[in-house]
Each structure stands twice: as C-alpha cells, then as structure tokens.
A and B are shown apart, each in its own frame.
Chain A
Amino acid sequence: MSKRVVVDPITRIEGHLRVEVEVDENNVITDAWTASTLWRGIETIMKGRTPMDAGLLVQRICGVCTFSHYRAGIEAVEDALDVKIPKNAELLRTLMQQALYMHDHVVHFYHLHALDWVDVVSALSADPAKAAQVAMKYTDKPIAAGEGDLRATQERVAKLVSTGKLGPFANAYWGNQTYKLSPEQNLIAVSHYLKALEVQRVAAEMMAIFGGKMPHPQSLVVGGVTSVRDMLSPARLQEFKHKHGIVTDFINRAYVPDVVMAAEAFKSEGSVLGGVGVKNFLATQDFALGNGKYLFEGGVIMNGDLANIQPIDPNAIKEDVTHSWYDANDAQHPYDGTTDPNYTGMIKRDTVYGELPTLDEKGKYSWVKSPRYNGEPVEVGPLACLLVNYGKGNKAVVDAVNGLLELTGLPIEALFTTLGRTAGRLLQTKLVADSVDETLNALITNLLADEATYVEPVMDPSKEYKGHSMIEAPRGMLSHWVRIKNGVVENYQAVVPTTWNSGPMDAAGKKGPYELSLIGMKLEDPTKPLEVIRVIHSFDPCMACAVHVMDFKGTDLGEYTIKAGA
C-alpha cells in the first residue's frame, strides 16, 4: 500500500518549498509533487514605476542570487531603450557576477548542501591524526585539515553536543545509512563547513568592492555602472585580486577535493546515481570577457543529444498553469499569460506522520508556473550550462569536465545524476574563478585609453518600448521582460531558473525536473527522507525567484511580441 511523505519546509534553501512523495511497500518513490507556498507580487508592484527603478526593485526578488535580478532588470531596460553600455561597465558587471558565483556556489555546497552528505555527529568519533592523513589523499595542500585544525573542530562540535543543545544541527537525519563518508572524512568536511563560513565573507567582500554591499549591491544603473572611483583605483583592483586569491585557494584546496571525496564515497549510493529525469537542458551565453568573448556559450539540448545543440528560440517558451494556483486554459507565452490567482488550498489525507493537509495533485498545488520549451520541460542550472558548452566543444569546459571524470574515475553518464549536478556546480565555480584574471586584465588594458562607465539613456515618454535580458544566474538561465509605455513600466515579467526546474505538472501530465528526479528512488526511512532533500538540494532551490508574480486582480497583461532575433 502506498504511503504519502510530506517534507515541508525544505530547509537550507531560499524561500518556501514543499515536497510530497508517494512510496510503495518497498519505500520506492512512485510519484512526487513539489510546491512553492509563498506568493509576493513583485511584478505587479513594478507596474507604473519608472523603468530606471526596475533593477533596484526586482533585485528584491532574491537576496541570494542578489546581483542576478538586479543586472537582468537593468539590462532588460537597456535593451528596451537600445542603450549600449561602455566596455568598462560591461567588464565591471562581469567581475561582480564572477564574485557572486564564487560566493553563491561555495555557500550552496558547504552550508546548504553539505549536511546532506556529511554526518556531523559521526565526525565526533574520528581520529584527527588519521583524518589529516586522509585529507592528503585528495590534495597535497589541504586547507583547514591539518591535525590541529581538525582537533579544534572536533572539540568545538563536542562542546556543542555536550550541552545537550545541538542548535542548528538538532534533530537532523544523523546516522542515516545513506551517509557514506567515514568519520575522518566527515570531520574534514565539518572543518571545511566552518572555514567556508569565513571564506564566503571574503567572497561577499569581492562583490562589495564594486557593488557597494552584498546582498543587494547598489552600483548598477540603466546605462552603466556607478562605482567609477573603485574601478579607477589601483588599490581597489588589487583588493579585489587579493580576495579573489583567498577564495580561489579555498576552491582549489577544499571545494575540489571535497567533491572528489564525496564522489568516491557516494558513487554506489542510489539517491545520487539518479536524479536527472528530464534530459532537456537550456543555458544562455554569459560572462562577457571583453572583445566579444564569453566564458559560456548558450543553447538547447533536447533528449540528451549533446551532438545537436540548437540556439535558443524565445518564442518556443510557454507557461502552463494547469496545476498552479492561477486560472488559465492553455499553455501561454509568458507575455500572453492571464494572471488570475486561484488558491484552492490543500486536502487532508493520511501520511506517514498522520493526517495532514496535502497537495491536491488532481487539481492545483503550487504557486510556481510550469515553463515549457516547445512543450517540453527542461532543466537549467550549472549542469545545463556545462552540458551545453561540453556539447559545443568549449575548450575550457571540455577540459574541466574531462579532468574531473578522470580524477573520480566516473563515466560521462555520471553527469546525468544528482552527483553530476553537484559536481557541475563545482566545475562552473572553478571556471568562473579562473576567468577573473582575464577579466581584470581586460579592464586594466581598456582603462589605459577609456574611462567611460556610463551612457545616459534617452526615454521619450510618447514612445513605447519593449526589451528583455537573458543571462545566467547561479541557478540557471534567467530572463526578464519589460514593456514601457508613457515613460513607466506597463508590464514586467521574470522567467526564472527555479521556475523551470520546480514547476508542477502541465496539462499533458508532464512533470518538471524536481518531480521527475525523485521518482524511482528508494528511501531508507520514509519518516526521515534524507534522500529527498539530497536530490532537491542538488538543484539549489530558490523559491522566491521561482514564483511568477501576477496581478491579483486578474487583469489581462496583454500581448507581447518577442523581438526578432532575440
């Protein structure tokens, strides 16, 4: 007899996410549903405001990928007003984006994802001297993994445990049989968890140098950037370079070895071998490095066919709300969408925890819409970015992917798994970190002849404008779309990475990446669904971003035509 398992809140993510799965008598997941349980209204709030404020306001969609929405909002308006920003501004934005990735991915791996792989309690029984030897196996220069460091970490955790109050580590799934690291490996990882708390501060400081602060930096404007004094200061550039060195060092001496260590330990664990149910991937070109070069190229992969990668056709994007808490009859292009909230609530039924309100899978069950590309669900994110670039033969990406496969002894099929998604995020972090020097050098060279940072935008209130941006955010392809009329925003839409990944079923019953990734996985104990959160975390959920925000009054947002060649 099947049983319903409810997981809410999914913790260690941005926002509010609920996952429900059905398991059979062998505890194998037979069906899965995921839902966002918060709706805020940002796009509605954008209407009637000056487009110059769009970036600042839509940035508040998310405080994690905090720079991504800011930039996308600014660049959508720049596209609408046909503003071409100076090269310095473009490069400065790339530097900020590089800092964001280095920050966001490190925080995700260590503070949001690692506790799915690392048993903190097990670290208490480790031998620190032996653990220091183990660390040497994965890198000849381990960071925060000498015997002294490890002993100090262990004592700190022991002190916490001895008080009887585990604080943020309380009541987790410690001891679950699907934790595969040895006590010594767990201790190394816990030490890195603490070290990463320090390092992420430094990465955030990188962003703050040119952004003023992080989260919610404040140095982009329609037409360019404002941190001109920081850009012109050799001391500031050096500060950026110095902090970059600290973070890169951690990536090379902790993040890379830890992923290799996890890959080795978990390569026979069922919950990390599956996890890619949708073999369609979407990623866009991004990280301008000057001279028309980009770190990553864009494209679409359908049915896992890496040999036949197509350019993105924005007209192929439609959104379905059959199972979302909105009214609509057919799948619609994002700009033709009717936006009538229709919260139908949950239904009570028996679960492994007794009777609870549960998602109504036959009706509507999430605030997330279901974007489809030519009618098919797709996955976006670091893995999609790497697969697209691997398929297109981007040399840096091909070398990085092949290098990791060699290091771990895994076949290329291992990329299409939960582990692959986690490893893909690591490789993307490393590729981004390694491209910072090139960006800085391009900026310094350009500054010899050109100090421009800003082009004043011209907006004629009697004209109508429309434009969009399509960029890569840490969680995948992000696009913002704006229409301007009478000098104010008439319509604003964001199509967001986590929406692509976390949307509910569509009218045809096709499920998105989150839901399909769970089906077929066996749970050790359905009342302690560690495997579920391990898989879901590998997508790095960001729910505030994911929820499309509609007009509560149900106003028709009107038609929108994508510009040719967009």
Chain B
Amino acid sequence: MAKYDALMATCRTRIDELKAQAPLKEKSLDTRMEQDGVSRRDFMKWSATTAAALGLPLQFAPMVAEAAEIADRVPLIWLHLAECTGCSESLIRADTPSIDALIFDHVSLEYHETLMAAAGWQAEENLEHAMTAYKGQYILAVEGAVPTANDGQFLTVGCKGHTGLHIIEEAAAGAAAIVSVGTCAAFGGVQAAAPNPTEAKGVEEVIHQPVVNLGGCPPSEKNIVGTVMYFIMFGRLPALDMFGRPKWAYGARVHDNCERRGRFDAGEFVETFGDQGAKDGYCLYKVGCKGPYTYNNCPTERFNHHVSWPVLAGHGCIGCSEPNFWDSMADFEKPLGRRELHSLDMTADKIGGAILGLSALGLGAHAVASVVVTKKEEASK
C-alpha cells in the first residue's frame, strides 16, 4: 500500500478531525441535513469531474472500435488462485463488448484456465511462453486470493507444482498492468474472512507493483471489461480511489444512485422482508442494506445486461466491493451498528441510532461516508 501512503495520511487526519467533532446526535435534524447537503455538493462535483475525465462506461463502446485499430490484440494472462470462478463467470456475461469480440477482436487471451483449450503441460507452456514473449506488455488479471500460510502450499498449480504465491510473483514481474479481479484478488475475499485459516491475502499485499482492484463478489462484467478496455484504449490504467479501485466505476456510493433513495429520504423502510413496504419498493436500510457504506456502480449499471441488481431484487447491498466486508459488514440483514469501518470510527456519525429516528440514523451514515469521498478526491489531486 506504499503508493497510498500520502493519501492514507490525509485520510487519517480527516478521520481524527471527525472523531474530535461533538456527537451529532445532540444536534437538530436540520443541522444534520445541512451537513448532508454540503457533503452532497462536494460529492456531485467530484462525480462530474470523474465522469468527464473518463466517459466510461457509457461512451466507451465507440472508443473501443477506435482503440482496436491502434492496440489490436493486447496479450491478457488471467490467473486463477484461491477462488470460486465467479469472476470468470461474470466475465463471460460481458456484452460491451461481448466476450467473443473480446477474444477474437480485442485481446489475445493467452492463458485463462476456464476458457482455454490446452490443458496440463501444454497449458503451462502457454503461460510460460506468454510471460516470456510478451514480457512488459501483457495485462495480468488475477482472480482469487493468494494463500500464504505454509509457504503458500494450500494452493499449487501446474505439472511443476508451483504455489500460487510463486506464480503470482513471477507473472507480476513481467506485467504491464495488473488487475485484481474481484474482492478475493483485491482484498483477500471470503477465504480471508476471520479466522483466515490459509492466511489468504490480496495480490497487492504480496507483490510490490501497482495493482488495480476491482472489488465486488463478483465485480460486474462491465467493471472487468471496462478496465481491460481502458488499458487497451489509453495504454495506462484509470484513476484510482484510496482502495485502488477505478474511480469511473467505484467513485460513487451505491446509496447515492440507488433507485430506492427517495424512499430513504422520505423515511419509508421495509421492516421485514415480506411486508407491504417490500411490495412497494421501500428502502432496505433497516433490513441490512450496506449501500451507504459501499462504493460501486451497481445502481446505475446493474448486472447481466442491466437486468437487475440486488436492491432491485429486494435484498440489501452486502457491501461486497469493500475490503474486509465479510467481517466488517456482517450480519448482513441488520443495519450496521456502531463499529469501525475502514478505520473510520462510526461513533462519529451517530450510527447508534436507537434514540434517533431511522431516517436520521441513515442520514448520519450518509454524511460521514460523503466526507470520506470528498477527502479521497482532494487527496488524489
């Protein structure tokens, strides 16, 4: 995380400032709303800047064609470490461009265990060949965490019996860019949840190179392909947030673009899953939605060709694109209580809302998370 030291130091300062603030619960609702409004303006400004800088994903379709002429067939090596293949499954849902266009027209998929025809010795030869022939040129996409306990021997791959740890170190050394696809590769994911029996880690923690982290379990197909496409289009990686995630995809909170946001603002909440509020599309905060704490483009992009996303399907966001969410955001069907999240002390935002009305409780969470966004943007300038 060395590249984020300055950013984190700035964030730390801000958190300390927040901690020093008087408890918000003693202020009036209007005060809280005002604070919320200010943060929101900052957030909207930040969102607009990011969108203008990138134009992704809505405008990237025509750019892909243009880029393909100048950057045809970028080598892509995709490794599977400690994983469930959900990210690959997400990849093959891609429609902008489709996976077949990706394979045939845009990138040269040199190694991908789920899709490649070769097996065994010949598959390993492909990997070695690609790492040598395209040294310094290939995109390395990694799916799954790196088990590090027992010298990494909870995972071996290939006839030569190399550990996942060995393979990632070797493959990263020659990569032009490294993309950790999904929360496991980015932050350790489910196997790194307490008590993390294999000492699984995110890729970023075991190598010493910049990594793009595509949080999400799995990330949407658009966020995977968009990142690969961005590299093809611009020959560099996009601007990142404090957790190494592309801002174009992870720059806004789920809560801010949520289709149920109006219900939240009106104080209309689903109380139990099958109630009238559930039928009427009320806000899911009270049944555990972690949208106010989660950065992703799920509400605007949705999943599977825009068909749906969890909140539309009536289940709260579980925060799957955030580091350590399996521990920090459980249990998933209850509102997040007072606890530290991303080193940010939630006591500062009045989450302990037994005294407050539910709406105010949620607004408190909203306010603090907005402050974090603002801070990230300033720090990255």
Taking Cβ atoms with an 8 Å cutoff, the residues of A that contact B are 6-16, 37-42, 44-45, 49-50, 52-53, 56-57, 60-64, 66, 86, 107, 111-112, 115, 120, 156, 159-160, 163, 165, 167-173, 194, 197-198, 200-201, 204-205, 207-219, 221, 223-230, 232, 343, 345-346, 351, 353, 356-357, 451-456, 527-529, 533, 544, 551-553
Contacts and interface: CB of A to CB of B under 8 A. Distances in A.
Contact of B197 (A63, A120, A224, A551): A551
13 contacts: A11-B119, A12-B114, A38-B154, A64-B85, A159-B104, A167-B107, A171-B122, A172-B122, A205-B307, A212-B315, A221-B273, A228-B314, A229-B312
Interface string B181-213: 000000001110111111010000000000000
B225 to A, nearest CB: 13
Given A39-B154, A45-B190, A156-B104, A6 B159 contact: yes
Contacts of B61: none
Contact of B161 (A120, A205, A219, A357): A357
Given A13-B114, A57-B326, A212 B191 contact: no
A41 B156 CA distance: 16
Interface secondary structure of B, over-half rule: loop
B121 to A, nearest CB: 5
A8 B114 contact: no
A205 B305 contact: yes
Contacts of A223: 273-274
Contact of A167 (B87, B110, B309, B310): B110
Given A218-B318, A230-B308, A527 B198 contact: no
- Considering residues A7, A214, A551, which has the most beta carbons from chain B within 10 angstroms of its beta carbon? A214
Nearest to B280: A229
Given A216-B86, A227-B313, A168 B112 contact: yes
Contacts of B304: 201, 204-205, 207-208, 213-214
Given A62-B84, A64-B84, A552-B149, 13 more contacts: A11-B114, A12-B114, A14-B85, A15-B85, A60-B190, A168-B110, A170-B110, A197-B98, A212-B303, A228-B279, A453-B273, A454-B273, A529-B120
Contacts of A205: 304-305, 307
A452 B108 CA distance: 50
Interface residues on B, range: 35 or more
Nearest to B279: A228
B237 to A, nearest CB: 22
Contacts of B86: 60, 62-64, 66, 215-216
A177 to B, nearest CB: 17
Given A37-B155, A63-B89, A211-B313, A167 B103 contact: yes
A455 B274 CA distance: 8
Given A8-B120, A16-B157, A52-B331, A226 B273 contact: yes
Interface of B: 73, 80, 82-90, 92-93, 95, 98-100, 103-104, 107-110, 112-126, 147, 149-150, 153-161, 189-191, 193-198, 200, 217-218, 220, 272-274, 278-279, 281, 302-305, 307-315, 318, 320, 326, 330-333
Given A53-B330, A57-B190, A16 B155 contact: yes
Contacts of B85: 14-15, 62-64, 544
Given A42-B190, A165-B108, A216-B217, A528 B303 contact: no
B242 to A, nearest CB: 25
Nearest to A39: B154
The 4 A-B pairs of least Cβ separation, nearest first, read A63-B86, A454-B274, A212-B313, A226-B314
B307 A454 contact: no
A454 B195 CA distance: 32
Contacts of B190: 40, 42, 45, 57, 60
B4 to A, nearest CB: 27
B141 to A, nearest CB: 13
Contact of B153 (A62, A345, A456): A345
B330 A168 contact: no
A52 B333 CA distance: 8
A53 B305 contact: no
B160 A356 contact: yes
Contacts of A53: 330-333
Nearest to A352: B121
Contacts of B331: 49-50, 52-53
Contact of B119 (A12, A44, A210, A213): A12
B116 A168 contact: yes
A63 B218 contact: yes
